[in-house]
Amino acid sequence: MSDMVKVGIAAYGITPFTKNDQKIESSLLESTKNLFDDNPKIDRNDIDAVLVSTNNNSKYLSPILSEMAGIQPKIAHSIESLCNSGTNSIVSAYSYIASGLADVVLISGAERYDSPGQILDWDNSRGEFKHPIFWASIFTKSYKREYHISDEQLALVSVKNHKHAKNNPNAISNKTYTIEDVMNSKKLTDDLKLLDCSRPCTGSASIILASEETTKKLTDSPVWITGIGQKITSAGFTKNKSLSSMESTKLAGNSALQMAKHNISDIDVVEVHDAFSVCEPMALESLGFVNIGNGTSMIRELYDTNNFKVNPRGGLIGSGHPLGATGIAQTIEITQQLQSIAGKRQVDNAKIGLVHNMSAAATSSTVLVLEK
Amino acid sequence: MSDMVKVGIAAYGITPFTKNDQKIESSLLESTKNLFDDNPKIDRNDIDAVLVSTNNNSKYLSPILSEMAGIQPKIAHSIESLCNSGTNSIVSAYSYIASGLADVVLISGAERYDSPGQILDWDNSRGEFKHPIFWASIFTKSYKREYHISDEQLALVSVKNHKHAKNNPNAISNKTYTIEDVMNSKKLTDDLKLLDCSRPCTGSASIILASEETTKKLTDSPVWITGIGQKITSAGFTKNKSLSSMESTKLAGNSALQMAKHNISDIDVVEVHDAFSVCEPMALESLGFVNIGNGTSMIRELYDTNNFKVNPRGGLIGSGHPLGATGIAQTIEITQQLQSIAGKRQVDNAKIGLVHNMSAAATSSTVLVLEK
């Protein structure tokens, strides 16, 4: 990796996350249009690549979005890797710019509430239990048993993230809940209640990456991608080393921090992939924010001190989880935090942030480090 | 673009192209296994990225292939852009290596005969005519009228490419045809007979790209990607500037040649995207091999002199067209030509080759220049 290459976030746009029936093409266009409306300096003719992040089955979405948005790029295709499609697309965009093949890349992610990415048909080891709540349930049981954690301690993740989402105008949730509300919500499995789960929804998020020189021209508050880490340990979750920690997250996190030349203690604000409540403490532990088994204690302390450091936009549980858009929305949130424009969600003095995204029971993870 | 970065083709594997009912996962694994079997020097632990090129609706195919093949990469996702998914994936792999994010990348493309990429549901301007034969029919009528070309002249494309495919052990076709055979084959539209068309099929092709140093370690006959050009002009074909030439191909070809510092007259062997017979002369003209309107004359001369320069493996018409595998199979063919191991298909003294791939009525094109 050349130390001279710097890739920045030059612009972004997002839609509300909802349960509406919007077509995928329309959703992609809406966040792209919001991006252009908010960033009049960007010339569509300068966009070299358009990457679409989605699990939607529609084909040729990137040229379709390009035509609708008035862009004639050199590079255009869709990228799919379940839940972490968005961050994978951001890394691909980074590589196009760092290689010199592109100077400005638009990444647009979208999903509909009925995404085919929700049912894990390909994992035969799951038998009849192809919905992600089943691995999440196994993770929850394993995590609780191994570290003596209660359902109430995990419920606090949902309480905290719904509280954060209340300050996120694009979140699907506008309600706050108590631990009792979570405990009394519909029981889905022995270990999971409805409010422990993120909700599939319709939504889109778009972001523009550019070379150092161009980023500086396009924005007065550049944010730079200084660390990238990715790891795939398997596809089927039964191959996971452990059911109460995230091996791929640990490896991806270490790589990203090493590239950024930072320690985890340097991170001021973080988006982690809380598809289910248990994922948040597990991710915080696997990233090294806190010792193994102590994730819920960290979450309790943050909640008690009204500290928005972890999942300020409300995470997946509070914001909703439109698969292909999620990683991009996470990256936008950290960017806004570093730009100090996150309003009521703002973490004090945020200079270095981290994005954690994963797919399919953490069989793969992507971690980004962002700096202003 | 740094002049110091060199990305090479270090290995490849392919399956026969057939009409069989093989699952997509099995197909991807078969070409990957063939690649490893033929290249024992490659250590699975050195593979940093696995990119899957396909239009198949299955999700998470790249981690699935990785797990089946015994690879735990950093980067893994699927890439879709209809017919040129394969070449787009090769360019993405190139960018990961040139940026320094990866040193060795496996790209595996596959498709089934019943690929959802065949029906262009998204182009409302097509009305009821969503099958590609309809744009091909319009192209054919327009091309014939504009340049006074006969059906028989176009039929020669199919005759030539079936003849070439007879020397390609992986081709779906094993038969040769006369111009009369093509003319008398089933009439599909006013301007297209069955033998004017490539056939969707089941098949897979895999390739490994690596940095200069690693490529030289892994193979004694390295082939280098020296030129890359890509262009998307639109998604819907009604926005094409002309219906008898390929604007995106012209622009992508010019960019690729410029990057490689070559003229089209330097190219010794070429794979062009002959999804339909008319596409071959149009592509040759748009790439600049011959003046506009003279493509069929060039094809006649090559055929009469038994010169395999254009579509030596039999093109899409002779080899079959498994969408996600096609661009990779084209690239493998040019690699084998430059390695002088193409057997009865070998073009004399081939030093510089070109790959042309496109999607959806040439609304997008990708062009690669390869050199030994």
With beta carbons less than 8 A apart as the criterion, state whether A325 and A110 touch.
Answer: yes
Partners of A356 in the β-ladder: A367
The residue of chain A with its CA nearest to that of B117 is A59
Of A72, A80, A228, the CB nearest to B78: A80
The conformational region for residue B239 under phi > 0 = left, psi -120 to 50 = alpha, else beta, is alpha
For residues B34 and B148, what is the distance between their CA atoms, to the nearest angstrom? 46
What DSSP assignment string belongs to A97-158?
HHHTS-SEEEEEEEE-TT-GGGS-TT-GGGTT--SHHHHHHHHHHHHHHHHT--HHHHHHHH
Class of domain A7-117+201-223: alpha beta
Residues above pLDDT 90, as percent of chain B: 92
> pLDDT by residue (tens digit) across A268-311?
999 999 999 999 999 999 999 999 999 999 999 999 999 999 99
**For range B169-182, the mean pLDDT:** 98
- pLDDT range class, residue A130, cuts 50, 70, 90: confident
Residue B216, min C-alpha distance to chain A (Å): 20
- Of A257 and A123, which is predicted with more confidence? A257
pLDDT score for B4: 60
Residue B165, min C-alpha distance to chain A (Å): 29
**For range A108-126, the mean pLDDT:** 86
B233 and chain A in contact, CB less than 8 A: yes
Would you give the DSSP letter of residue B178?
-
| Residue bearing tokens 């899409």 | B316
Q: Is B340 exposed, middle or buried (0-12, 13-18, 19+ CB in 10 A)?
A: middle
Backbone φ and ψ of B244, nearest 5°: -130, 15
Of A60, A101, A233, the CB nearest to B359: A60
**For range B182-205, the mean pLDDT:** 96
What DSSP assignment string belongs to A220-279?
SS-EEEEEEEEEE--SSGGG-S-SSS-HHHHHHHHHHHHHHT--GGG--EEE---SBTTH
With beta carbons less than 8 A apart as the criterion, state whether B156 and B296 touch.
Answer: yes
pLDDT score for A4: 60
Q: State the CB neighbour count (10 A cutoff) for residue B348.
A: 10
**For range A124-148, the mean pLDDT:** 89
| Residue bearing tokens 């003229």 | B263
pLDDT score for A2: 46
Residues of A in contact with B25 (CB under 8 A): 122
Within 13 Å, how many C-alpha atoms sit on residue B106's CB side?
35
CA-atom Rg of chain A in angstroms: 19
The residue of chain A with its CA nearest to that of B60 is A81
Q: Tell me the fold of B7-115+201-223.
A: Peroxisomal Thiolase; Chain A, domain 1 (3.40.47)
> In the predicted model, is pLDDT for residue B289 greater than 70?
yes
CB contact under 8 A, B98 and A94: no
Residue to substitute from A7, A60, A81, interface B, most B β-carbons within 10 A: A60
Backbone φ and ψ of B29, nearest 5°: -65, -35
- Of B81 and A241, which is predicted with more confidence? B81
pLDDT score for B120: 78
B344 and chain A in contact, CB less than 8 A: no
Domains A7-117+201-223 and A131-198+226-371 share a fold: yes
Residues of B in contact with A72 (CB under 8 A): 231-234
- pLDDT range class, residue B2, cuts 50, 70, 90: very low
Q: Which residues of B118-141 are buried (b: 16+ CB within 10 A; e: fewer)?
A: bebebbeebeeeeebbbbbbbbbb
Give Dmax over CA atoms of chain B in angstroms: 57
C-alpha dihedral sign at A305, A308, A309, A315? positive
CATH 3.40.47.10 fits A131-198+226-371, yes or no: yes
For residues B144 and A98, what is the distance between their CA atoms, to the nearest angstrom? 45
**For range B296-319, the mean pLDDT:** 98
How many beta-carbon contacts under 8 Å exist across A and B? 194
pLDDT score for A1: 46
- Indicate the average pLDDT of chain B: 96
What DSSP assignment string belongs to B335-357?
HHHHTT--GGGPPTT--EEEEEE
> pLDDT by residue (tens digit) across B314-372?
999 999 999 999 999 999 999 999 999 999 999 999 999 999 999 999 999 999 999 99
Q: State the CB neighbour count (10 A cutoff) for residue A18.
A: 17
Per the structure block, which two tokens stand in for B70?
A: 């015994």
Closest CA to B6 of B264, B211, B283, B228: B211
For residues B314 and B316, what is the distance between their CA atoms, to the nearest angstrom? 7
B90 and chain A in contact, CB less than 8 A: no
The residue of chain A with its CA nearest to that of B89 is A77
- Of B240 and A257, which is predicted with more confidence? A257
Q: Is A339 exposed, middle or buried (0-12, 13-18, 19+ CB in 10 A)?
A: middle
- pLDDT range class, residue A117, cuts 50, 70, 90: confident
Give the domain ranges of chain B: 7-115+201-223, 118-196+225-371
A230 and chain B in contact, CB less than 8 A: yes
For residues B202 and B194, what is the distance between their CA atoms, to the nearest angstrom? 19
Residue B264, min C-alpha distance to chain A (Å): 20
pLDDT score for B261: 98
Distances (CA, A) of A253 to A256, A264, A289, B136, B295: 5, 9, 11, 49, 54
> pLDDT by residue (tens digit) across A3-60?
567 999 999 999 999 999 999 999 999 999 999 999 999 999 999 999 999 999 999 9
> In the predicted model, is pLDDT for residue B47 greater than 90?
yes
CA angle B72, A87, A13 (to 5 degrees): 170
Question: What predicted TM-score, i.e. pTM, was given to this entire model?
Answer: 0.97
CB under 8 Å to B138, separation ≥6 — which residues?
B237, B243
pLDDT score for A3: 53
Residues of B in contact with A252 (CB under 8 A): 74
- Indicate the average pLDDT of chain A: 96
What DSSP assignment string belongs to B294-314?
-HHHHHHHHHHTT---BSTT-
With beta carbons less than 8 A apart as the criterion, state whether A368 and A227 touch.
Answer: yes
- pLDDT range class, residue B127, cuts 50, 70, 90: confident
CB under 8 Å to B43, separation ≥6 — which residues?
none
pLDDT score for A121: 77
Q: Is the ipTM of this complex over 0.90?
A: yes
pLDDT score for B1: 46
**Least confident span in A241-245, A248-252, A333-337, B66-70:** A241-245
With beta carbons less than 8 A apart as the criterion, state whether A166 and A315 touch.
Answer: no
> In the predicted model, is pLDDT for residue B54 greater than 70?
yes
Class of domain B118-196+225-371: alpha beta
Q: Is A322 exposed, middle or buried (0-12, 13-18, 19+ CB in 10 A)?
A: buried
